[in-house]
A and B are shown apart, each in its own frame.
Chain A
Amino acid sequence: MEKTAVFKNKLLPYLLLVPQLAITFVFFYWPALQAVWQSFLREDAFGLSSDFIGLENYQALFAQPEYYKAMGVTVVFSSLVAALSLTIALLFATQADKNLKAAPVFKMLMIWPYAVAPAVAGVLWLFMFHPTLGTLARPLRLLGFDWNPLLNGNHAMTLVVMAAVWKQISYNFLFFLAGLQSIPRSVLEAGAIDGAGPLRRFWTITFPLLSPTTFFLLVVNVVYVFFDTFGIIDAVTGGGPAGTTTTMVYKVYADGRLGGDLGSSAAQSVVLMVIVIALTAIQFRYVERKVQY
């Protein structure tokens, strides 16, 4: 839909666009292009000179066992966080959507973790499950469970997943609740008249009608796990122990910062960009078409 009534100035629209375009070019396009360009270069140890080496950084990257490990970690981490936070949020949202007097209060009590920084969420969970001083680690040990996320990779993964899920429930809850409330009551009533019980109605009516929201959230959650959880991983495990919680984004940071390998770091950035663009494209192709708001 386009406006029919518009202004006719020649220069003014460009002036209005200048601030945003300037910032976008300097801080978005220029660095993004630099990342692509740098991924084809090899810099010497002092950063004084660089050679064009074509795809060598990429070849080296894909020859690295650690890179496949980081990919695996990312896949496991993203699927666990997305699946758990979506399921739990949907459970809470369906309850809050019932005709309860206190529903608005619960809504407010559920959504505020959205405002907690991922890194802070990570620190909270690390404190609760810290092997020596954690309030919840003690009962685990009393039960004879040798809990130590600082040494055991599976424990570390469990901990970052819990923190990331905790942080993401509120966001998913909000969108599921909005989705549930947009389902017409008459459809559910028709189902009830036909004799379908609450569970049957959920699976045959509510869940299919909610699928656009679910798919949208799935994509958003995967992108969240990719990027926003950086703070959680850095605060809780620092990618360890032994790379068991090093996701692809964490590896870009670790290789560039600690390893000083900017070529490889840039190549990894480019691979990530391709993945994110693909995810966004999927979202637009399928979600925009199906969702009728």
Chain B
Amino acid sequence: MVEHRRWNDIVAYAILIFGVFIVAFPVYIAFIASTHDAATVVNGNMPLSPGGHAMENYYRAVFVGASRYSREPVGQMLLNSFITAAGIAIGKIFISILSAYAVVYFRFPFRKTAFWIIFVTLMLPVEVRIYPTYKVIADLHMLDTYAGLILPLIASATGTLLFRQFFMTIPDELLEASRIDGAGPFRFFKDTLLPLSVTTIAALFVIQFIYGWNQYLWPLLVTTQDSMQTIVTGIKKMLTTTDELAEWQLAMATAILAMVPPVAVVVFMQRLFVRGLVETEK
């Protein structure tokens, strides 16, 4: 910065520490709740320090299930979330790297049309066509399947655009050179383009994994059996038990478990995540 004064730094640190506090406090409270027994949480006077029931709560949440009415254990939900998120990420990378390759490295009739057909999907999230999409999935007998959870969410152009942008920055000389070596489109893709795209692929994987993990409305509609629900939809169901008190300490343990994988991905892959995010949004 231009002038460097001590008070300026102190103000900045104070504001940033306050920011981190706002960001962390709700999660801290949830964590505390997940370490107390039901009675302590429900009486509305929960202490702000951890209790001694953490092991018991997390064990019950993961392996037994919350209450008599929503008995599906979180372990199964975590697995479902993981398969869905990874499926969305891998599926999207697969279809979009191929289509971006076609659009950038080939000249063929209807190339522009194909690009626009894909591009338009950026505008409409699945939420606005939710019931017709549900009907398509039902007609294809894909309710309560991983394919039903995954496929409608990969029908969008974010990945294609990202790969297209990246391919445009690759110098033409590389293609010329591998042509001289006698490489066809397959070898150029496998030996030149794919190795160069590793960072872009990883960035896209991070973003799509989080996007898939955090889906709510679509899994809510397309899964009817509890054994297929994802962890994000499962938490809500723990809280809407009808005739007995919701077990908040288990719901909070579940919330913590639902946060750990995507947050870990962001924290450990921060550089890739930021790069991919800033590039797709442009």
**Assembly CA distance A114 to B266 (angstroms):** 8
Is the Cβ of A106 less than 8 Å from the Cβ of B270? Answer: no
User: Which of these, A26, A106, A114, A132, contacts B210 with CB under 8 Å?
Assistant: A114
**Chain B residues with CB below 8 A from A123, complex form:** 235-236, 239, 251, 255
**Assembly CA distance A266 to B216 (angstroms):** 20
**Chain A residues with CB below 8 A from B19, complex form:** 88, 91-92, 95, 106, 110, 169
Q: Could you mark each residue 108-133 of chain B with 1 if its beta carbon is under 8 Å from any beta carbon of chain A, else 0?
A: 10010010011001111101111111
**Chain A residues with CB below 8 A from B176, complex form:** 5
A143 near B: Cβ within 8 Å?
Answer: no
User: Which of these, A19, A100, A266, contacts B132 with CB under 8 Å?
Assistant: A266
In the assembled complex, how far is the CB of residue A46 from the closest CB belonging to chain B, in whole angstroms?
15
**Assembly CA distance A71 to B268 (angstroms):** 40
B98 near A: Cβ within 8 Å?
Answer: yes
Is the Cβ of A35 less than 8 Å from the Cβ of B132? Answer: yes
In the assembled complex, how far is the CB of residue A201 from the closest CB belonging to chain B, in whole angstroms?
8
**Chain A residues with CB below 8 A from B102, complex form:** 12-14, 16-17
Is the Cβ of A117 less than 8 Å from the Cβ of B216? Answer: yes
User: Which of these, A17, A113, A191, A256, contacts B130 with CB under 8 Å?
Assistant: A256
Surface stretch bound by A, among B51-59, B62-70, B154-162: B154-162
**Assembly CA distance A280 to B16 (angstroms):** 33
Is the Cβ of A111 less than 8 Å from the Cβ of B270? Answer: yes
In the assembled complex, how far is the CB of residue B46 from the closest CB belonging to chain A, in whole angstroms?
6
Q: Could you mark each residue 31-42 of chain A with 1 if its beta carbon is under 8 Å from any beta carbon of chain B, else 0?
A: 110110010000
A277 near B: Cβ within 8 Å?
Answer: yes
Is the Cβ of B128 less than 8 Å from the Cβ of A269? Answer: yes
Is the Cβ of B216 less than 8 Å from the Cβ of A234? Answer: yes
Q: Which residue of B lies closest to A197 (CB)?
A: B3
Is the Cβ of B155 less than 8 Å from the Cβ of A23? Answer: yes
Surface stretch bound by B, among A52-60, A62-70, A74-82, A134-142: A134-142
Is the Cβ of A133 less than 8 Å from the Cβ of B42? Answer: yes
B166 near A: Cβ within 8 Å?
Answer: no
B44 near A: Cβ within 8 Å?
Answer: yes
Q: Which of B1-42 contact A (CB under 8 A)?
A: 1-4, 8-9, 11-13, 15-16, 19-20, 22-27, 29-30, 33, 41-42
A227 near B: Cβ within 8 Å?
Answer: yes
B143 near A: Cβ within 8 Å?
Answer: no
Is the Cβ of A92 less than 8 Å from the Cβ of B15? Answer: yes
User: Which of these, A111, A226, A266, A280, contacts B266 with CB under 8 Å?
Assistant: A111
A154 near B: Cβ within 8 Å?
Answer: no
Prevailing SS type, chain B contact patch: helix
User: Which of these, A91, A112, A262, contacts B131 with CB under 8 Å?
Assistant: A262
User: Which of these, B24, B96, B255, contacts A20 with CB under 8 Å?
Assistant: B96
**Assembly CA distance A116 to B168 (angstroms):** 33
User: Which of these, A5, A13, A137, contacts B172 with CB under 8 Å?
Assistant: A5
Q: Could you mark each residue 217-261 of chain A with 1 if its beta carbon is under 8 Å from any beta carbon of chain B, else 0?
A: 000100100110011001100000000000001001100110000
A150 near B: Cβ within 8 Å?
Answer: no
Q: Could you mark each residue 87-111 of chain B with 1 if its beta carbon is under 8 Å from any beta carbon of chain A, else 0?
A: 0000000111011011111111001
B214 near A: Cβ within 8 Å?
Answer: yes
State the interface size on chain B (CB cutoff 8 A). 104
Given A32-B132, A127-B33, residue A110 in contact with residue B20 (CB < 8 A)? yes
In the assembled complex, how far is the CB of residue A106 from the closest CB belonging to chain B, in whole angstroms?
5
**Assembly CA distance A122 to B207 (angstroms):** 21
B225 near A: Cβ within 8 Å?
Answer: no
Q: Which residue of A lies closest to B179 (CB)?
A: A5
Is the Cβ of B262 less than 8 Å from the Cβ of A115? Answer: yes
User: Which of these, B12, B104, B105, B278, contacts A100 with CB under 8 Å?
Assistant: B12
Q: Which residue of B lies closest to A107 (CB)?
A: B270
Is the Cβ of B106 less than 8 Å from the Cβ of A269? Answer: no
**Chain B residues with CB below 8 A from A49, complex form:** none
Is the Cβ of A120 less than 8 Å from the Cβ of B259? Answer: yes
User: Which of these, A13, A132, A188, A253, contacts B2 with CB under 8 Å?
Assistant: A188
A214 near B: Cβ within 8 Å?
Answer: no
A27 near B: Cβ within 8 Å?
Answer: yes
**Chain B residues with CB below 8 A from A146, complex form:** none
Q: Which of A115-168 contact B (CB under 8 A)?
A: 115-121, 123-128, 132-135, 137-138, 166
Given A24-B121, A135-B29, A231-B217, residue A266 in contact with residue B236 (CB < 8 A)? no
10 interchain residue pairs of minimum CB distance: A231-B216, A31-B132, A117-B214, A34-B132, A13-B106, A16-B102, A115-B262, A192-B2, A20-B95, A13-B102
Enumerate chain B interface residues (CB-CB to A < 8 A).
1-4, 8-9, 11-13, 15-16, 19-20, 22-27, 29-30, 33, 41-46, 48, 94-96, 98-99, 101-108, 111, 114, 117-118, 121-125, 127-133, 135-136, 151-152, 154-156, 160, 168, 172, 175-176, 179, 184-185, 188, 210, 213-217, 220-221, 232-233, 235-236, 239, 248, 251-252, 255, 258-259, 262-263, 265-267, 270, 274, 277-278, 281-282
A-B contact pairs, 16 of them (CB 8 A): A3-B105, A8-B106, A20-B98, A34-B135, A115-B214, A117-B216, A117-B258, A120-B255, A124-B26, A125-B26, A127-B26, A166-B22, A253-B217, A266-B131, A277-B124, A280-B123
Given contacts A31-B152, A135-B48, 10 further A-B contacts (CB under 8 A): A7-B185, A13-B108, A16-B102, A28-B121, A100-B13, A117-B258, A117-B259, A128-B26, A135-B29, A235-B235
